[in-house]
Structure 1
Amino acid sequence: MVSALNDMTSTAASNAQDNLMRVEAARYALLRRLAFSIRHQMVAHLQPIGMVTELLERRLRAPTPDLHQAHDSVAKINGLSKAAAHDCLDVITWMAPEPGATVPVGQAVQDCMVLLRGNFSFRGLSLRSDLPELPQPVGRSAARMLLSACLLALTDPLDGPAEVTISAQANDELATVDLRVQRTEGDGYENQLNYRALLWPDVQAMAQAEDVELAHTESTARLTFAVLD
């Protein structure tokens, strides 16, 4: 009997380890897919600093520099540096989530749209949402990862232009986000991915790890998050 209990314990531990590895593999695949968009967003925050610095250098090379203008440029660089540091630290949380951090569900949707819109546009895809104000807090890491993963899993199989619509609703206990893909008219495009496609088993593994309910079809997905205090 003791041997049987030991075997059961060993099997359970092995299954738990397999599940953990499956989740970690899915998260890695997602981050590899998001890497280009994350890099682009960080560069976008830093570029204005270089532009204002170049302007300051030109002003200081003048025979009689306008110190008032130079002072304004230095003040702008200072403000832009602080804003860029804040924004870059926020972008880093996509890769290194802060335990226990929350975000309003409406903001989570906007964060994902901002991050992925450029990449989707390059692939011939458009993102659209018409969300009411949804201040209900959900887990930030879970919302960001799963919304992004669903958007990729829905669109990776496509070989032509399409529109992705995001809607959401929430009450005091649950927040539900619905995603729908609809093909649109237009020329086809070559769907070149910078890493492997995201598959629904990947998304399901992450959803189970985050205690988020996932339902999907070929063209729709629904995520149900617990509203946190």
Structure 2
Amino acid sequence: MQDATPSAIRSAGPASLETRLEEAARYALLRRLTPALRHHMIGALQPLGMLAAMLERRSQAPAPDMASITKKSNEMGVLSREATAACVGLVAWITPKTADAVSIADGVKDCLGVLETDLALRGFIAVNEATEATALVARAIMRNVYAAALLAITDAAPGPAEVIMQSRQEGDTQIVSITLKPREAEPMGIGGPSYRALDWEDVEALAKAEGVVLEHSATGAVLRIAP
């Protein structure tokens, strides 16, 4: 058996550690996103199942109404294309990285489309004030760093709150922020996260990988995105 040499140990040094921390953070984020992605996929496919069951019943009638069946079959074609597009969009969340860009407004909307139900079930109300943010940033930043920050800050929150999402520009740098505003409400009676809670070390690892400067506190997070 060969002993580990100093050079081998050095090769698994800081750079390798950073890569492994990033990979662990991405895995944790994906595990947290999976229930929401599955829920939305089921929602996209459910109308197809219902329509298929209805068509089966109508086709087995003693005197099938072929005009109605043809109409519903055409509707099924439209629904199947819509469901396919929705599922392809959701599956894109699990791809390692994409080079495409997205406006901050659409990036925030994208994250909320997946996570808003999860937030609501945990007692958080999303307040999106970034709807006019047209500046483009890497989609990977929004789907990885921003989504992770959104989960980390709400995982650590002591109780229900408004989650205020904002964006502004300072010079060439885009500032995307998340602020918690506690609100009076009964905590939702559901269990904890489906996987482990995300912490700021996870978000920092993802931010570093994407070249984003992250600032955070118990009640807020700021992402500084340079061009």
Report the TM-score when normalising by structure 2: 0.89
In structure 1, C-alpha distance between the alignment counterparts of 2:201 and 2:68, rounded to whole Å: 57
Deviation at 1:214, TM superposition (A): 0.9
Deviation (angstroms), 1:59: 2.1
3-state SS, counterpart of residue 31 of structure 1: helix
Shift in Å at residue 132 of structure 1? 3.8
Distance 1:147 1:225 in 2: 11
Q: Which SS does the other structure have where 2:94 is aligned?
A: coil
The residue identity in structure 1 corresponding to 2:215 is: A
- Relative distance call for 1:226 and 1:34 in structure 2 (3 A) is same
Does 2:220 align with 1:223?
no
Distance in 2, Cα, partners of 1:199 & 1:33: 12
Match of 1:37 in 2: 36
Mapped partners of 1:10, 1:97: distance in 2: 27
Give CA deviations for 1:137-170 in whole Å, capped at 9, x if unaligned.
2111221111111111111123422111111134
Partner of 1:175: 174
| Larger deviation, residues 97-106 vs 66-75 | 97-106
Answer yes or no: is the 8 Å Cα contact 2:157–2:218 preserved in 1: no
Partner of 2:66 in structure 1?
Answer: 67
Q: Percent identity?
A: 34
Alignment partners' CA distance in 1, 2:64 and 2:9? 75
The 8 Å contact of residues 29 and 195 in structure 1, kept in 2 or not, is answered as yes
Which residue in the other structure is 1:195 paired with?
Answer: 195
Tell me the residue number matched to 2:3: none
CA distance in 2, matches of 1:8, 1:174: 40
- Alignment: residue pair count: 222
**Cross-structure match for 2:138:** 139
The equivalences for 1:75-224 within 5 A come to 75-170=74-169, 173-189=172-188, 192-224=192-224
AA partner of residue 194 (structure 2): N
Matched-pair contact (CA < 8 Å) for 2:165–2:177: yes
What letter matches 1:178 in structure 2? S
How far apart, in 1, do the equivalents of 2:133 and 2:141 lie? 17
Paired with 1:152 and 1:32, the residues of 2 have a C-alpha distance of 12
Change (3 A) 1:211 1:110: same
User: Match of 1:138, SS?
Assistant: strand
Report the Cα offset of residue 171 of structure 1. 7.6
Q: Which runs of 5+ in 1 are unaligned?
A: 1-6
Aligned 8 A contact 1:166 1:178 in 2: yes
Contact 1:108/1:144 (<8 A) preserved: yes
Question: How big is the shift at 1:136?
Answer: 2.4
Q: How far, CA to CA, are the matches of 1:47 and 1:176 in structure 2?
A: 39
Q: 1:107 to 1:69 in 2, by over 3 A?
A: same
- State the alpha-carbon separation in 2 of the partners of residues 106 and 213 from structure 1: 19
CA distance in 2 between partners of 1:210 and 1:47 (Å): 36
Distance 1:217 1:159, change over 3 A: closer
- Partner Cα separation in structure 2 for residue 16 and residue 155 of structure 1: 30
Q: Secondary structure at the match of 1:94?
A: helix
1:28–1:139 CA distance, 2 compared to 1 (3 A)? same
Normalising to structure 1: TM-score of the pair?
A: 0.88
Gaps of 5+ in 2: 1-5
What CA distance in whole angstroms lies between the structure 2 residues aligned with 1:109 and 1:28? 21
Q: Once the 2 structures are TM-superposed, how far is the Cα of residue 10 of structure 1 from its aligned partner?
A: 6.5
Letter of the structure 1 residue corresponding to residue 226 of structure 2: A
Paired AA for residue 150 in structure 2: L
Q: CA deviation at 1:12?
A: 6.6
- For the Cα contact (< 8 Å) 1:53–1:73, is it kept in 2? no
Measure how far apart 1:172 and its partner are.
8.4
